[in-house]
């Protein structure tokens, strides 16, 4: 067993952000990817560590089994395809595992490996990015030393600078994956928890105008991403809604969104859209607002309500910091065998170590 931290997808946007954050913590990562030249260029800027060329997910899993790194950080989306084979290779090798998945299907697939991870005595962490961790951290903070609440709503409000380049297949496929195999509704429909079970919910529904702590306003609406599962597990609440500011907020778009997404069920059309999106060119853009926010509102059976915020800067930078900090803590031996989301495993301090700051107003009075 080596003491190495491997970053799979090491040349990608997230891989590079994670590498920079590891270097800032005194850990030189090993970059793993498909293109030797690009890997070497990125590695030079990320502490000069070694690189591993592996052509595809199966080849990467074989290298993990062979070389047995201490921690593997997986940034290869869609995670529904990559997470299980890579995590299984980690369990066989005795490595801990972290991924950036932020969709319900991938999170549920990894959670199914819980017993195997416990038996192997290894830690598998999912949702280690802005998506999932920012809101989960607020839920963990609000629920500390409290009984299980009745309901939770989480809202994620990311703000990130965009670098010039193409979207790429990993991100395009992740966006169009939908919720294959997720109970409670259709692949391209919404979800929420009711009475402790996943049930269908309107995509872009439950719209809420939020006033952020800095006084600006955003509208968030229902979007079943990884934070839905993270918030349910962190709180134990039977009723959970996850919402995002990234759902287009024009009423006409919201009205046609469910019908438009149902077209993605047509395989060839979905494949066509993925290929078009993967080649989509981004122009460089400054981040649209100074801060990114995670927000949660929690209600208990006695009528009490608490809400709180996590304020972070650039969401992509936070996405780099969370897996780096989690790896740093795993190297220090503070993991726990099984599958966890980051804040449930490491507590609310994880987000603070990644540059986040909690803003928790005094508890509100009893709800009417
Ligand atoms: N949880 C969160 O908050 C959060 C935030 C940001 C991103 N993400 C997720 O993280 C994933 C990566 O996003 P990104 O923006 O970093 O994408 P990206 O810039 O396209 O990077 C993806 C990386 O994965 C590699 N890759 C893709 N498919 C592969 C395969 N089949 N086998 C081996 N390597 C493969 C790519 O290698 P090549 O360069 O060789 O193609 C590239 O290095 C996406 O799924 C995205 O949704 C999550």
pLDDT in tens, 269-299: 778 788 887 787 877 888 888 999 999 999 9
pLDDT of amino acid 178: 82
Determine whether domain 5-129+316-347 maps to CATH 3.40.50.720: yes
**Which of 5-19, 73-87, 235-249, 348-362 comes out lowest in average pLDDT?**
235-249
- Fold of the 130-315+354-359 domain: Dihydrodipicolinate Reductase; domain 2 (3.30.360)
Tell me: pLDDT of 140 over 90: yes
170 C-alpha to center of ligand 1: Å?
A: 5
Query: Is the beta carbon of 170 within 6 A of some atom in ligand 1?
Result: yes
Surface-to-core class of residue 46, CB atoms within 10 Å of its CB (0-12 exposed, 13-18 middle, 19+ buried): buried
Ligand 1 neighbour 175 (Cβ under 6 A): no
Q: Is the pLDDT of residue 264 over 90?
A: no
Instruction: Return the DSSP state at 164.
Output: S
Between 198 and 254, whose confidence is greater?
198
Instruction: Quote the ligand 1 centre to 76 CA distance (angstroms).
Output: 4
CB of 154 within 6 A of ligand 1: the answer is no
Q: State whether the beta carbon of 14 lies less than 6 angstroms from ligand 1.
A: yes
| Helix, coil or strand: residue 72 | strand
Any ligand 1 atom below 6 A from CB of 34: yes
For the residues 255-270, what does the mean pLDDT come to?
A: 74
Quote the ligand 1 centre to 306 CA distance (angstroms).
36
Percent of the chain with pLDDT over 70: 94
Q: Answer yes or no: is pLDDT of 231 > 70.
A: yes
13 lines ligand 1 (CB under 6 A): yes
Residues with Cβ < 8 Å from 110, sequence gap 6 or more? 79, 83, 84, 87, 99, 101, 124, 126, 339
Q: Is the CB–ligand 1 distance for residue 74 below 6 Å?
A: no
**Domain limits, the chain:** 5-129+316-347, 130-315+354-359
pLDDT given at position 233: 98
What does each C-alpha distance from 364 to 154, 243, 298, 367 come to in angstroms? 17, 22, 11, 8
Where are the strands (E) in 202-351, listed by range?
208-211, 217-222, 239-244, 281-282, 292-299, 305-312, 338-340
State whether residue 6 is helix, strand or coil.
Answer: strand
Q: Is the bond into 78 cis (omega within 30 degrees of 0)?
A: yes
Nearest CA residue ID for atom 11, ligand 1:
77
Helix axes 79-93, 57-67, angle to 10 degrees: 20
168 lines ligand 1 (CB under 6 A): yes
CA dihedral 40, 46, 47, 50 (to 10 degrees): -40
Q: CA nearest 17: which of 324, 341, 290?
A: 324
pLDDT of residue 286: 85
- For 96, other C-beta atoms within 10 Å of its C-beta total 26
Res. 160 pLDDT band, cuts 50 70 90: confident
Mean pLDDT calculated for residue range 191-212:
94
Q: Whose CA is nearest to atom 34 of ligand 1?
A: 9
- 79 CA to centre of ligand 1 in angstroms: 9
Which pairing describes strands 151-157 and 292-299: parallel, antiparallel, or unpaired? antiparallel
Q: Is 132 in the pocket of ligand 1 (CB under 6 A)?
A: yes
- Largest pairwise CA distance in the chain: 62
The answer to whether the CB of 257 is under 6 A from ligand 1 is no
Ligand 1, closest atom to CA 10? 43
Pocket test for ligand 1, best of 168, 174, 230 (most atoms within 8 A of CB): 168
Ligand 1 atom nearest to 128, measured from its CA:
1
């Amino acid at each position: 067993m080596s003491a190495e931290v491997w970053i799979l997808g090491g040349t990608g946007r997230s891989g590079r952000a994670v590498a920079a954050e590891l270097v800032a913590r005194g850990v030189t990562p090993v970059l793993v990817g498909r293109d030797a030249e690009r890997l070497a260029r990125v590695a030079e800027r990320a502490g000069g560590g070694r690189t591993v060329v592996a052509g595809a997910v199966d080849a990467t899993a074989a290298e993990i089994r062979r070389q047995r790194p201490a921690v593997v950080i997986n940034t290869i989306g869609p995670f529904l395809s990559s997470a299980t084979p890579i995590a299984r290779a980690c369990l066989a090798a005795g490595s801990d595992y972290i991924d950036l998945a932020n969709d319900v299907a991938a999170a549920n697939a990894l959670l199914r490996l819980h017993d195997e991870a416990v038996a192997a005595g290894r830690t598998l962490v999912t949702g280690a990015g802005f998506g999932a961790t920012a809101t989960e951290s607020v839920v963990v903070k609000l629920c500390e030393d409290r009984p299980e609440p009745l309901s939770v709503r989480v809202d994620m409000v990311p703000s990130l600078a965009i670098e010039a380049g193409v979207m790429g297949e990993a991100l395009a496929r992740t966006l169009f994956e939908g919720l294959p195999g997720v109970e409670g509704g259709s692949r391209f429909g919404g979800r929420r928890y009711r009475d402790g079970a996943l049930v269908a919910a309107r995509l872009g529904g439950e719209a809420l105008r939020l006033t952020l702590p800095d006084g600006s306003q955003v509208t968030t609406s229902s979007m079943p991403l990884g934070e839905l599962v993270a918030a349910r597990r962190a709180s134990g609440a039977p009723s959970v809604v996850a919402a995002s500011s990234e759902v287009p907020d024009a009423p006409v778009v919201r009205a046609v969104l469910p019908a438009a997404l149902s077209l993605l069920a047509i395989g060839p059309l979905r494949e066509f859209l993925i290929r078009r999106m993967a080649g989509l060119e981004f122009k460089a853009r400054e981040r649209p607002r100074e801060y990114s926010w995670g927000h949660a509102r929690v209600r208990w059976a006695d009528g009490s309500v608490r809400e709180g915020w996590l304020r972070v800067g650039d969401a992509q930078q936070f996405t780099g910091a969370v897996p780096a900090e989690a790896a740093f803590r795993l190297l220090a031996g503070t993991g726990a065998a099984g599958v966890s989301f980051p804040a449930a495993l490491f507590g609310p301090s994880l987000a603070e170590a990644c540059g986040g700051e909690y803003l928790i107003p005094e508890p509100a009075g009893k709800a009417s």
